[in-house]
A and B are shown apart, each in its own frame.
Chain A
């Protein structure tokens, strides 16, 4: 049973860059094709941020594409999210997930990120 665990700072300053890591356990990150980042805000609900293929190809939400970078480190069995130019609107619970067939099959428990000075 794969488990995913998000980690990173809970507080980011306005205009700063968020960096989060998703540690995968119980399975190899190479066992699945795609891995995603998502977030949930009270105002906008759930939002898909982007995904990365085990080989490194990425797809991003068009509305966030200019600010997002997702990367994978197979040696550490984790993948990461960077989101730049953070504003209060980016305050959210951030989730990582393993993709299934055109779906999000397994989710991490989520981590709250607050943008504030």
Chain B
């Protein structure tokens, strides 16, 4: 059973920078897993932020960026704003034609 791990929670100050990561229980995340990132506010459907590791979805502010850091995928929020406070999920494409979601990170801006 593949487990995709994310930090349970992160706190960032307004205007600050935070980097969320997305790892595998066994192995390293690379661009071959085509990592994507989603933002979800309570009661709403997820919204796509990043796909193909580092491509921003239409309308997504450039304060959101994606990358590979070491053996994990990463989402960096630069200049955090109050409305960035919500849940963030990564998704990895496992290559056998299925996707696995990460466990999610709750970001608090305070």
Binary per-residue interface labels of chain A (39-81) against chain B in the complex, 1 for a CB within 8 Å, 0 otherwise: 0000001111011000000011111000000000000000000
* A45 in contact with B103 given A101-B52, A103-B48 (CB within 8 Å): yes
Interchain CA distance A45-B5 in the complex, whole Å? 12
Which of A45, A46, A63, A103 has the most chain B CB atoms inside 10 A of its CB? Answer: A103
B45 and A108 within 8 A (CB): yes
Interchain CA distance A68-B96 in the complex, whole Å? 17
B104 and A102 within 8 A (CB): no
A45 and B36 within 8 A (CB): no
Binary per-residue interface labels of chain B (29-56) against chain A in the complex, 1 for a CB within 8 Å, 0 otherwise: 0000010101000001111100110010
B45 proximity list for chain A (CB < 8 A): 95, 107-110
B55 proximity list for chain A (CB < 8 A): 101
Query: By the criterion of a CB under 8 Å from any partner CB, how many residues of chain B are at the interface?
Result: 24
Interchain CA distance A103-B98 in the complex, whole Å? 11
Among residues of B, the one whose C-beta sits closest to the C-beta of A48 is B99
Binary per-residue interface labels of chain B (73-110) against chain A in the complex, 1 for a CB within 8 Å, 0 otherwise: 00000000000000001010100111111011000000
Lowest 8 CB-CB distances: which A-B pairs, in order?
A: A102-B34, A103-B51, A103-B36, A59-B97, A107-B45, A48-B99, A46-B101, A102-B93
**Interface residues of A, Cβ cutoff 8 Å to B:** 36, 45-48, 50-51, 59-63, 95, 100-110
List 16 other contacts, CB 8 Å, given A46-B46, A50-B98: A46-B89, A47-B101, A59-B98, A61-B98, A95-B46, A100-B51, A101-B34, A101-B51, A101-B52, A102-B36, A102-B93, A103-B48, A103-B51, A103-B52, A105-B57, A107-B47
